[in-house]
Amino acid sequence: MKLSVIGAGYVGLTTAACMAQIGHDVFCSDSDTEKLAKLKNGHVPFFEPNLEGVVRTSSNSHRLRFGSTEDAIAWADVIFICVGTPPLANGEADLSAIEVVARTIAKCASGYRLVIEKSTVPVQTAVQLRDHLAIHNKNGLRYNVASNPEFLREGCSVEDFLHPNRIVAGVDSPHSAEIMREIYRPVVEQTFDCPIHSDCCSGKRPTFLVTDTSTAELIKHASNSFLAMKISFINMVADLCEVVGADVTKVAEGIGLDARIGPAFLNPGIGFGGFCFPKDLQAFIRIADKSRCDFSLLKEVEKINQRRVEQIVEKVRKELWAIQGKKIAMWGLAFKPNTDDVRFAPSIAIAKVLLAEGAVVSAYDPQASETAKAALSEITYCANPYEAAAGVDAILVVTEWEEFRQIDWRRVLSLVAQPVVVDGRNLFSPSEVSEHGFRYVSVGRVDAFPSKSQASLLQRIAS
C-alpha cells in the first residue's frame, strides 16, 4: 500500500521506516529541509536504537523515500499526520501544525484520501480536522478522517511499533476501518522480517481495537496520564518509606506482583520527564477543565512530579551542608536511557537549581550531551563518567544508563574530593556503593554509609 507520513520526528520517522519494513511503500516529508537532506543520505538526526538501520534498509530497498509535503500528499491515498503538538503556555496542545497540514492536504489533494492523525491531540480534534478539510477543499477531495494514536516509548520505538500490545483505530466509517486493518495486517499477523533481536517478539499478536475517533483520542491521553499517576504515586510512597525506614523497592515489588496493578512504572526517583508525559498530562487537565470535569487528581499528580526536583536537590544540600561553591557531577542528562532527548528532562531543572545556588556542575551522558547544550551552556560536558567525577564533592545519578552499572567505584573514589553519591534513580545497591567508601543516598531507601575504619582504609588504598 502507498502511504505518506507528514513529519519526521520520533513518531513520524519511526512510523515511516517501520511501515516500509513491513512491506508498504512510504513517502516521508518534513518542513525541515536540513533534516530531510540528512535522511536522504541515511542519517537519522536523533538517537533511537535500531531506527537508523531500518531507515537505511528501507531506503536502499526503495520502499522509503523523502521529499516535500506537497509531493507526499499528492503521492499516496493514505496520509499519516505525525507533526508536533507542543504545549501552549496554558497547557493546551498547540495544533497549529495540524492545521497547516490540513490546509495543505485540502489544497494539494484530489480524489480519495484517508487522513490519519497519529500526533497526540485533544479529543474531538478529528472532528475539527474533518471540518477544516471541508472548508478548504478546492479540488474535489473526498476523504475520511481516522485517529491512530501512537504508543511508542523513546529508546525502543522500533520494537514497540513492530511488536505492540494493541493498535487503536478510531474511524468514521467501515471503509476506514478496513483500510486500517489492511495497513496493520503484517503487524497483527506478524508476517514481516523483524530487523532487531529475535527475543523482542513475545509471539503474542496485538489486539486491534476499533473505536470512534473521539474514543481513540481519549485513549492516548488517558493512558499516559494513568502511567504518570503510577509514577507520582510510587514517589509519594518513597517519601513515606524514607520517614518510616522502609524499602520502597520491596514495596514496589510487592505491589507489582498484584496482576491488577503490574510492576511497570513503579520505579521511584526524580520524577517523569520527556516530551510525552508532562505535555499530555497538562493537555488532559485542560481538556477536563474545558469540559467542566473535576480532574483534581491529575493536578495533584503534576504537583507531586514538579516537587521531585527540589526534593532531590535537598538530598544533595543535606549531604554537602551548602551547595555554594561545591563541585557536583551529574551522571546522565537524557530524561530516560537509550535516547538523547532532554525535552522536559528533570536533569535540566536540577542543573539550573544547582547553578542558581552557586554550584560548579560537570556532566556526562552517553548520548544527550549535544542536545543538552542548547538548554545548559553553563556546565562542563565530559567524555566519560570518570572525567565528570574528578574533584567533585558529590555525584548525582540522574539517568539510569546501563553503562553506569559497570562503573569502577575504586577508580571513582580516587578521583572525587568527597565520597558522596546521591542516586536519583535507585540504580545501585546501597551496600555495594557504601562498601567502596561512599556515603550513598537514594530514593525511598535507608541511606548507606561506610564504617569509619572501612572508609579510612579505602581512602588510603585509593590514594
CATH 1.20.140.10 correct for 221-304: no
- Arithmetic mean of pLDDT, 264-292: 92
* Whole-number Å distance between alpha carbons of 104 and 109: 8
- Arithmetic mean of pLDDT, 311-316: 96
- Arithmetic mean of pLDDT, 367-379: 95
Look at strands 207-211 and 111-117 and give their pairing. Answer: unpaired
- State the pLDDT confidence band at 171, using cuts at 50, 70 and 90: very high
User: Do the domains at 2-211 and 305-462 have one common CATH topology?
Assistant: yes
Task: List for the chain the helix, strand, coil content (%; round to 5).
Answer: 45, 15, 40
User: Closest Cα partner for 264 from 151, 162, 429?
Assistant: 151
* Whole-number Å distance between alpha carbons of 366 and 383: 8
- State the pLDDT confidence band at 275, using cuts at 50, 70 and 90: confident
Q: Is 461's pLDDT higher than 50? A: no
What is the per-residue pLDDT across 80-106, written as a single tens digit (0 to 9) for each? Answer: 999 999 989 998 999 999 999 999 999
Spatial contact of 330 and 361, defined as CB atoms under 8 Å apart: yes
CB atoms within 10 A of CB 356: 10
* Whole-number Å distance between alpha carbons of 130 and 122: 14
Which CATH number does the domain 2-211 belong to among 3.90.1150.10, 3.10.440.10, 3.40.50.10490, 3.40.50.720? 3.40.50.720
Q: Which class for 203: exposed (0-12), middle (13-18), buried (19 or more C-beta within 10 A)?
A: exposed
What is the pTM assigned to this prediction? 0.90
Sheet containing strand 25-29, strands side by side = 64-67, 25-29, 2-6, 78-81, 111-117, 141-147, 166-170, 207-211
Mean pLDDT of the chain: 93
What is the per-residue pLDDT across 179-220, written as a single tens digit (0 to 9) for each? Answer: 999 999 999 998 888 888 756 666 678 999 999 999 999 999
Task: Give me the pLDDT at residue 296, please.
Answer: 93
What is the per-residue pLDDT across 383-416, written as a single tens digit (0 to 9) for each? Answer: 999 999 999 999 999 999 999 999 999 999 999 9
CATH number of 305-462: 3.40.50.720
What is the per-residue pLDDT across 416-430, written as a single tens digit (0 to 9) for each? Answer: 999 999 999 999 999
The residues carrying an active-site annotation are: 276
> Domain boundaries in the chain?
2-211, 221-304, 305-462
Percent of the chain with pLDDT over 90: 88
Q: Is 140's pLDDT higher than 90? A: no
Please report the DSSP string for 154-204 in residue order.
Answer: TTSHHHHHHS-SEEEEE-SSHHHHHHHHHHHHHHHHT-S---S-GGG--SP
